[in-house]
Amino acid sequence: MLNQVADLDRVFHALADPGRRVMLERLSEGPASVSELGKPLAMSLAAVVQHVQVLEASGLVRSQKAGRTRTCSLNPATMRSAERWISERRTLVERRLDRLGDYLAATEDSPDQ
């Protein structure tokens, strides 16, 4: 569970970069090495490694080293926590807008309108 303010800061910051989102897209299809993650991106391996570190620090990605290869995978629990933060607030707003809509509809239905 990600309820700490700093954790959410790191997760949303990690998601805010288009290159990191390309990496997450790739990992949603299955685990990948750091160099595989860099393939579609026009950047140095050093830059790729830095992005992977941001993703790991956020908890969105986990990695394991076997020999000389580091394999990364997505952590669905962290993704779910970020989703939940947004959806709880969105649901509150939508409920209020629904109640307002019902109220306006009831007002319109009054006789002789």
Scanning the chain, the segments in alpha helix (DSSP H) are 5-15, 18-28, 34-38, 45-58, 76-108
Among positions 35, 40, 76, 101, the unique one binding a second copy when judged by CB under 8 A: 76
Give the dihedral sign, CA 97/98/104/108. positive
Among positions 30, 42, 46, 66, the unique one binding a second copy when judged by CB under 8 A: 30
Query: Of the two residues 44 and 91, which places its CB atom closer to a second copy in the complex?
Result: 91
- Lookup result for tokens 């000389």: 68
What whole-number distance in Å separates Cα of residue 93 and Cα of residue 30? Answer: 35
Nearest-approach distance from CB 107 to a second copy, in angstroms: 19
| Interface with a second copy, residue 80, by CB under 8 A | yes
Nearest-approach distance from CB 84 to a second copy, in angstroms: 9
Nearest to 73 by CA among 18, 36, 40: 36
- Positions that interact with a second copy (CB under 8 A): 5, 8-9, 12-13, 15-18, 21, 24-25, 27-30, 73-74, 76, 79-80, 82-83, 85-90, 92-94, 96-97
